[in-house]
Amino acid sequence: MTKEILLIQPSYPTSPFPGAHLPVGLGYLAEQLIKAGINYEVIDMNFYNFSFLEDKIISFAPDYIGISLMSLDIEHNYKLISKIKKCFPLIKTIAGGPHISFVKEEALSDCPEIDIGITYEGEESLIELIQLDSPLGIKGVLWRSGEEIIYNSNREFIQNLEIYQFPTYKKFGLNKYEKRIDIISSRGCPFGCTFCGAHLSMGKKWRGRSADAIVEEMEFWYEQGYRDFKFVDSNFFFNKERVIEFCDKLKMRGLEGITMSSDGMRAEDADFEMLKKMKEFGFNSVAIGVESVNDEVLKNIKKGEIFSEIEKRIKICIDLDLNVVLFFIIGLPGETKESIEDSFKFALKYPVADAYFFNVNPLPKTELYEWAEKNGYLLTSKENMFNNIGGMGEKPLMITPELSYDDRRKLYKKGLLISKKVKRKFNEYQQEKRARQIHTHLTDKEKMLLKRLAGKVPKDGVILEVGSYLGASACFLALGAKKRGQRIYCVDTWQNDAMSEGKRDTFAKFLKNIESFNDKIVPLRGVSEDIAKTFDKKIHLLFIDADHSYEGCSFDIKNWFPHLNKNSIVIFHDYGWANGVRQAVAEYVEPIKKRPAQVFENMYWTKV
């Protein structure tokens, strides 16, 4: 009788990257199981508790339970395996994934409830194991013979990745996940970074799927309504020619309206023409490992790049309007407080989408670990290194002559604050970018003046604009109003009788344009005079950009000046060309101004 297997995707509670994503590795295994005629089921523990898992095991009654393990939260997931084995002692447990490839026999020693381990690429090993119902002689398999743990030998890495069907997730419950497909376009990493263990699980030789195969996978999901794709292998851009061919194939297949992002890219692969072509087809986000801005540190970790080149390539991505995520490591060999502070400053230099600062983690079997062990820099056991995989914990796991334990803790905490600043800065950058796209007759310098003057308004202050039209000026006032409690009140009828576009109501478009500032901007729809009669707040900044006639401008001054707070800023637009505005300002504002007025391009402003 054919054996059956239950596949389990464990949870990783300490991961800084929230949300559950389709488990691509299990997806590939599932396709091989289908091809071999082996029945399987899948449980993702991000969605279910142990009670649900227990009921599933009882109802499905599998011969094997397979679980994919990363080193992150390994003790948490060892406990899950132990709990399963305690409840179902007769079902054989199989563990695979990067962690088993890293430590091999140690995994079965650390977790006696694991019956069998599968290293490296498991597609072939798993099928052979289930079909033979025995681990004897199968390459890439670890197993127990009494008290002895036996490793049969490494299995050769698959050179032609096309032999594997891409995941179609038939039993994964697609509706539970966000509507995005993660794609593995290549395996293997040929680079020699001393801190990285990627080659320990997938080999050093880069093996890429063809452009046709990648597009075929995307087309499959495109036809099912998916438009968002993410490349989760670190070396998607390793072969420029393949990327260019991939773009050409996308065009031929007519996959329009898609978005693409990448989990990782070496800075040296950031070729302008290649990325420009990718952007034309929806590529919008990329992550880059900077590690450190110090060239000596980069040399120490065998990064194979210099910082000036990394910065140059980051600028290329930003110039192409790509969302850039940066990764840094705190406390690498040779790192000092000063060089880490330089990394903090660099993270804030450009409008990058995010920046992560991780404690250095000397992962066992890496060159960094061997260096730290040899020099007596390790602060914890080998097992605890895996509990902090990727440096995601606050407690440092090693020291160096340049940085003490306390130094590292303080710098890590500061890195978390810098990350928050980076996100805030990027959000403001995005808001400003959207605001610049709103049609307006304000020049860029005038927009920036509004933003600067709004920044002078005190906490809980009130800004009022008369004549908001499509909301560009309101957005720039909001960009400047960063203090707590500030509000921008926008007064307009939005019935634009005199506009060159013809008579129309622009209120809906105004509301759409100010969406990202809903917490700051309050529209007041109606006739300016009527609203002024019932307005009950003191105004700290008044911007009048409405009727250009003397009558209209003076009317707004008479209605709104009584609401001004002491030492309020008043601004008038179209001062440079509208005689009516100049006349009204000369008659009503000049006599009561409390500081010399300034005229900037077409804008007049002073304090009254």
Residue 488 has pLDDT above 70, yes or no: yes
Q: How confident is the model at residue 109 (pLDDT cuts 50, 70, 90)?
A: very high
Residue 607 has pLDDT above 90, yes or no: yes
Residue 250 has pLDDT above 70, yes or no: yes
Q: How confident is the model at residue 365 (pLDDT cuts 50, 70, 90)?
A: confident
Dihedral angle over CA of 540, 546, 551, 556, nearest 10: -20
Neighbour count for residue 554 (Cβ, 10 Å): 18
Q: Which of 32-41, 213-222, 358-367, 576-585 has the lowest mean pLDDT?
A: 358-367
User: What is the chain's mean pLDDT, rounded?
Assistant: 93
Q: pLDDT per residue over 252-276, tens digit each? A: 998 889 999 998 899 989 999 999 9
Q: What are phi and psi of 325, to 5 degrees?
A: -110, 130
Look at residue 310 in the predicted model and tell me its pLDDT: 96
Taking a C-beta distance cutoff of 8 angstroms, is the pair 412, 396 a contact?
yes
Residue 307 has pLDDT above 70, yes or no: yes
pTM given for the model: 0.87
Domains of the chain: 5-151 (3.40.50.280), 179-434 (3.80.30.20), 438-607 (3.40.50.150)
Give the residue from 359, 383, 384, 360 showing the smallest Cα distance to 372: 360
Q: How confident is the model at residue 393 (pLDDT cuts 50, 70, 90)?
A: low
What proportion of the chain, given as a percentage, has pLDDT over 70? 97
Look at residue 256 in the predicted model and tell me its pLDDT: 87
Residue 501 has pLDDT above 80, yes or no: no
Long-range contact set of residues 81-87: C-beta below 8 Å, sequence gap at least 24: 81/111, 81/113, 81/114, 82/111, 82/113, 83/50, 84/53, 84/57, 84/113, 85/113, 86/113, 87/54, 87/57
Give the integer Cα–Cα distance in Å for 58 and 60: 6
Give the residue from 23, 26, 35 showing the smallest Cα distance to 7: 26
